[in-house]
Amino acid sequence: MDSAPPITPAANPLVLFRQWFAEAATHEPGLPEAVSLATVNRDHRPSVRMVLLKDFGDDGFVFYTNTQSRKGQEIGDNSYGAMCCYWKSVSRQVRIEGTFAPVTVAEADAYFNSRPRDSQLAAWASLQSETLSARSTLFERFKAVAAQYEGGPVPRPPHWSGYRLRPTMIEFWQDVPNRLHDRVVYEHAASAGWQWRRLYP
């Protein structure tokens, strides 16, 4: 009845995630690295938005942002958060829960320097999440920053960096007809490492 072979768990969930991500990158139109990111403020109210997953490994899942934005402020208030990857083209989803930690200065510098110049300038021009009276104001700020750094490199703003979601739970979901979906969840314990189990759909 399965439309695809059952999920075959590995000892380390990152092995399976790399496999699924590679398959999604081949089949998913647009941005397979687009993920929903959930944060929680100091009043325990959640918010969610899409971000781009820029790196991942055994130490976590990395994205970059303005640290003074709403999500940056909420991460500062509450280190717990979650991500969800959904790839419609391969009928799969991965949910990740854990705690946030800042990336290193070297990592932030390296990624910022790899961005297109206009994206670097936009990081200076945008007061992310603050009220904008008119679109023209943003464009004027962009022009001013472009003039300021004309002919030279654009430095990384002190308020622009990245975060790593360090997972304590990773759940893999695969679509199966008749809603008999295949689900495998990994949970991490300091004493035992990663342990997995299957879940009812």
C-alpha span between 86 and 98 (Å, rounded)? 18
Q: Is 179 a catalytic residue?
A: yes
**Residue indicated by tokens 């280190």:** 79
**Three-state DSSP state, 163:** strand
C-alpha span between 119 and 123 (Å, rounded)? 6
Helices (H), 6-134: 13-27, 70-77, 105-114, 117-125
Set 95, 179, 183, 198: catalytic member: 179
Active-site positions read 179
